[in-house]
């Protein structure tokens, strides 16, 4: 854990500050803080249970003000975003970070967010909503074709489909003040209704890409996209579709190393979240059937991430700060699986999903 904290500090623009105030950059040795550097540090410190030790009320207020200054006139968090993730991802991620900074009673940073007018436009009517979700950002472009591939590359495009709903969910107490004439609960009715109809009952994933016609089984990309919707399902209290199929599909895409790609990152969280949250919705009989398989998968991932961190310098693993929070959250997520072999170690971490809908 000490190694991880040193890595987080390596992105701070001014490491001489006693209490951390959000002055973090995505890339090491940058001369100024930026949005994702600041957000990644919030999540990393929260998961490592360090925010209480590294901040005080005044420094958290400064940190929150930096984040809030990145909101544009339509409510999206687009300013100082050098990471290049979509405005939908950045907005949900920023709102989540503001929530995690609310440590003491009376700290209320989410309430200072300007109305999310850009999101409101998407949900003006069921027709506009369905037009949006059917395309999910698809457009023909030579500039970042993967990022604009819609359902054909769901890992990236689910940032739009999940991020918007997560941002709405985390600001629900402010919707009446923003939009007194709107029934925002109706939006979620449209949202979950559409997703429930379109999910593949054979895998539990949404597989609407042209290549799914030729590769019908669940893939790593399908899983990494589906989880961004599952985060919303879980936090809203909506049952996941076909949880047994989600488990079967996810077990198949884990690598022999225990990781889901070649180094620890957000996709390890994705796999663990899919397995655990789906397992928790099974009947007692099915839990007995899948316990060993799920526990073994989590054991392998938990050990692989820890061993990777032990055997590598962290700045050799990542070239920016954004890979770390997801890897840490993968460890924290394991505590949600009752009976996990390494439960005592998993509980040393804070799970951000206890407070937020997005990472």
Domain boundaries, the chain: 2-354
Closest CA to 54 of 20, 92, 6, 77: 20
Q: What is the pLDDT of residues 277-297, one digit of tens each?
A: 999 999 999 999 999 999 999
- Residue 15: pLDDT over 90: no
Least confident of 46-55, 300-309, 314-323: 314-323
Least confident of 44-48, 257-261, 316-320: 316-320
- Residue 3: pLDDT over 80: no
pLDDT of residue 10: 76
Per the model's pLDDT, the better-predicted residue between 59 and 8 turns out to be 59
pLDDT of residue 18: 85
pLDDT class for 5, splitting at 50, 70, 90? confident
Express as a percent the part of the chain with pLDDT over 90.
82
pLDDT class for 142, splitting at 50, 70, 90? low
CATH 1.20.120 fits 2-354, yes or no: no
Q: What are phi and psi of 24, to 5 degrees?
A: -120, 150
Q: What is the pLDDT of residues 209-252, one digit of tens each?
A: 888 888 878 999 999 999 999 999 999 999 999 999 999 999 99
User: How confident is the prediction for the chain on average, in pLDDT?
Assistant: 94
Say if residue 56 is exposed, middle or buried (CB neighbours under 10 Å; 0-12, 13-18, 19+).
middle
pLDDT of residue 143: 67
DSSP one-letter string for 175-209: HHHH-TT--HHHHHHHHHHHHHHHS-TTTSS---S
């Amino acid at each position: 854990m000490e190694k991880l904290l040193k890595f987080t500090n390596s992105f701070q623009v001014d490491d001489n500050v006693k209490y951390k105030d959000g002055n973090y950059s995505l890339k090491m040795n940058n001369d100024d803080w930026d949005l994702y550097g600041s957000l990644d540090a919030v999540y990393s410190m929260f998961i490592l249970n360090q925010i209480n030790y590294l901040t005080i009320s005044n420094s958290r207020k400064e940190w929150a003000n930096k984040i809030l200054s990145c909101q544009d006139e339509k409510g999206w968090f687009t300013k100082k975003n050098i990471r290049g993730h979509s405005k939908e991802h950045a907005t949900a991620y920023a709102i989540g970070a503001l929530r995690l900074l609310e440590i003491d009673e009376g700290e209320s940073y989410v309430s200072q967010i300007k109305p999310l007018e850009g999101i409101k436009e998407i949900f003006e009517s069921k027709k506009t909503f369905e037009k949006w979700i059917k395309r999910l950002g698809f457009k023909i472009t030579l500039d970042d074709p993967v990022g604009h591939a819609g359902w054909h590359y769901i890992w990236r495009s689910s940032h739009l489909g999940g991020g918007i709903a997560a941002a709405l969910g985390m600001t629900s107490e402010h919707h009446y003040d923003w939009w007194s004439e709107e029934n925002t609960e109706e939006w979620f009715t449209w949202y979950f209704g559409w997703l429930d109809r379109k999910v593949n009952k054979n895998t539990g994933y949404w597989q609407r890409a042209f290549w799914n016609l030729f590769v019908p089984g669940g893939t790593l990309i399908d899983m990494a996209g589906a989880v961004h919707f599952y985060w919303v399902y879980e936090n809203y209290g909506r049952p996941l579709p076909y949880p047994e199929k989600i488990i079967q599909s996810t077990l198949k895409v884990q690598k022999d190393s225990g990781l889901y790609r070649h180094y620890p990152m957000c996709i390890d969280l994705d796999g663990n979240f899919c397995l655990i949250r789906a397992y928790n919705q099974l009947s007692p009989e099915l839990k007995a059937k899948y316990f060993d398989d799920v526990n073994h998968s989590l054991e392998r991932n938990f050990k692989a991430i820890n061993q990777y961190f032990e055997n590598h310098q962290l700045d050799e693993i990542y070239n920016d700060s954004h890979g770390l929070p997801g890897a840490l959250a993968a460890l924290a997520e394991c505590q949600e699986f009752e009976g996990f072999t390494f439960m005592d170690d998993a509980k040393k971490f804070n799970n951000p999903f206890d407070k937020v809908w997005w990472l």
